[in-house]
Amino acid sequence: MNADNHPMHLKPSRLRRCQTFFGPANLRPTKGASGGDRRGFTLVEIMISIAIAATLAAIAIPNYVRYTERARVARAIAEVKNIEKAVYNFFSDHDEFPDSLSQVGFGGYQDPWGNPYRYLRIDGGGPGKGKMRKDHSLVPVNSDFDLYSMGRDGASQGPFTAKASQDDIVRANNGGYVGLVSNY
């Protein structure tokens, strides 16, 4: 390096070019409309950043919604199994199934969507047998009791073929299956 190119001996214009080339170009001072120096991002840079953030959100939000729905279904399945155990404990103590979930301490207990769990005593419980849950062949799915959540839509019908029943979490086959009606 000769003495003329040493940074201490550069002319101001040449020094500015070196700083522009080697320094952070996006933060170099520019003249604004008012004549003062300003630093910042251009409109194009901001629009690209917003587009990237929107694309990431468009990918992430549906995945998050699916994840939370799967978590709610899993929670409802676990809760139906817990209620089922309480009903069987009641049966072992009293030799009959309870008439309502209140008798086993789950009266008013709500599923993850805020709806009360539904219970229907079938074995030894006279009235209400017409409201039993039925599979795709319209055969009752339980012979002891029905226990289910009405699912995300909060609506349900007796047969599993009904559209309103597809998102229900049910106990079927006398406890052999607990899960979504759509998977039964």
| 126-143 per-position pLDDT tens digit | 555 558 889 888 889 999
Q: What's domain 52-183's superfamily in CATH? A: Glycoprotein, Type 4 Pilin (3.30.700.10)
Sign of CA dihedral 21, 27, 33, 35: negative
CA separation, residue 174 to residues 20, 47, 71, 123, 184 (Å): 77, 59, 24, 11, 13
15-60 pLDDT per residue, tens: 555 555 555 545 555 555 555 566 788 999 999 999 999 999 999 9
pLDDT tens for 146-171 read 999 999 998 888 889 889 889 999 99
Domain locations in the chain as residue ranges? 52-183
Model-level pTM? 0.69
- Look at the block and give the residue holding tokens 């017409």: 130
